[in-house]
Structure 1
Amino acid sequence: MKRLIYAIILILVILAAMLIAPQVVGDKGYVLISMGTTNIEMSVVSLCITLFVTCLVLWIVLRIIGRTLGLFKGSHAWFGGRARRKRERKFYRGLHAMAEGDLQGAKKALQETNDGDFDGVNFLAAAQVAQTLGEHDRVRWLLDKAADYDNAKVAATLTLARLDIQQGQQQAALDKLNQLDEKASRHPQVIRVKAQAMGELGQWQALQETLPQWRKPLKDDYVTWAQTVAKGKFAEIASKQGAHALQQHWQDLPRKLRNDDAYRAAYAQQLLEQGMHNEAELRLTEWQKKGPHPVLLPLMTQLSMPNPAKAIAALEQWIKQDDTNAQLYSALGQVAYNAGDDILAEKVLLKAVKLHENPEDLMILAQISERRHNDAQALSLYKRGAALEHQSQP
């Protein structure tokens, strides 16, 4: 509105100037235009007014033409917006149908979103539907389309890699993951799937060298993966070269790895699997001089030898320091039971189940009762153990 008022004022000022100026000067002047036999004569004021009116009419015509063209452009934008809103409705309908279990409905709705810009999420959702329907070729096609979007690339590549691993194509999975950029390659899930593929390919040495670089992204899972790598490496050596080669390999490892709890646990586990229980007992008690370790303590329950004196002495010492720890009583009971000492095993396991019941302890107590021909007590313990085990299952 202000602009219109300013324009009117400006026009009035210009007109006033053209009319008043000649009067002030006293010489109106004239202009003669000759075109062949036609002569046009007018005053300077008339010429200025004519030019001004012509420019004004031309401006009005141009504005009308611009508005007319804008109507057509607006119609195009309106139709485009309508199509976009339709695709959005189909996208949300597809997600709802997928959650409802209507897979065919979800597939049909999501197919109509291929031309929309959903940052690849529509292709990821459609791939999940196709996977459930068993349309494996379509799954890969949809995931390839999703991988074209930067924000969906990692998710699509991870899903493709997992599919490759399920189909026994670990190297193909590894190749796909290695093609991701540096930032994506540090994604924790990318690292986990890559480690899985390398492990199933038996690339233990390469995995062992790479794992320290993944410690920060893996966080608490690092110990689990380090133990998996070490176990795979140790198992490979033991199966091909024997137990003595395994011991030599352990001695040749860098001090840093020999002090790593994950590697210690894997080495002790492999010693137990090789039947070297005396060596395993020695290592487990030596590494826990400062007290029980959550990764190493459970391995002591696997010790099976006639006289596990070191293990029993260590466990009894820890129990004196913490006599309400059910896990310590349980470990001592299982070590004693494996050694054939039913009296000690029963004594400490009864204490363990009193503090905290678990199926393993109850089953061992049942077997001890069965050895003593106390069938009623054995049956009762078996039932309690089975019920507890059933409750713990997801």
Structure 2
Amino acid sequence: MADGRDLIYYVDTEGPTEILEDARDISPVIPASVARYDALVGEWVGIAGHRQTRTYLPPANQCPLCPTTPEFETEMPSPDYDVTVFENRFPSFAPIGASTAPEPLGADALFMEIPGNGRCEVVCFTSNHTALVSDLNPVRIGTVIQAWADRTEALGHIPGLEQVFCFINQGAEIGVTLAHPHGQIYGYPFVTPKTAAMVRHADDYRARTGGNLFGDILDREIADGSRIVASNEHWVAFVPFAARWPVEVSIYPRRQVPDLPATNAAERLTLAAIYLEVMHRMEGVFDDTMPAITAWHQAPVNVGREEFWLHMQILSIRRAPGKLKYLAGSESGMGAFVNDITPESAAQRLRDVVLTPTESGAQA
């Protein structure tokens, strides 16, 4: 790109030739990210003050993720595209170049800071500005999955990166700042708090029982059946036993793999179908918008890979038409979630949604 960032094309249709030269005159944004250690809870917090100037809800004719036109130059120099991945111009984490070893900022280790070394990428799913993820066909979702897997593999080889996170924020209520259908990939210089907790509990469970925590949970969900939403040969979708969100689904592969690069072609093909089915079911629960987050839980790069079990989490803050689930006092102050909808009734609502044959890609 004109400022030195990478742009990668993924092609699944007969479209126009990709333009490989970005003709814009733009200056690079100088990232100033750091990560600071919260000694009270043992977690790292990213600080990225340079992101205050990032693009915020531009009009459709000035969307930076749409193809470039004679009237407006964007991040996409081609007149059309299928799927693209590029480095975020306003990254939360970026290659800073300094050591990633924690350095005390005082006489003791209470205040520790590391450079915000990492990588943040944007994944654009289509050139169609108004499309939803659920509007995409299985072939396109398969291309997105391939991009996720490729980039997870690539980022995992960058020195200093400890975890790769692929995710999608969808809907203004979630806080999306660009309406164009897209997702993001973060390469963190630390293992995130939720993943670190999973690794600890999986190791403890193995020591206590000899079993795999993720696999035993999956087996129990299948045996119980009350929270199963959809399934196919390679994947099972269910509402977690202790779901935190009003509409929340986990999608697990039937075999243990640590991350997306470890999945095979058949698993990726059937993943596209079940993911779209779950999205359609979630959208059918309420006659309203469905603000949602898709989050891939993958094994860290260097630790915990033996026990970890790849899975996708899809959640929505929609709890009723016109009503959202807010992270208020208990959730934000104490980290203690209270869900107003039982997981069993949420699963039944999802199963009750009537889908067209093209929307239903898996057998519930």
Larger Rg: 1
* Structure in which a larger fraction of residues adopt strand: 2
TM score, norm. by length of structure 1: 0.21
* Structure in which a larger fraction of residues adopt helix: 1
- Ranked by relative contact order (alpha carbons within 8 Å, sequence separation 6 or more), the top structure is 2
TM score, norm. by length of structure 2: 0.22
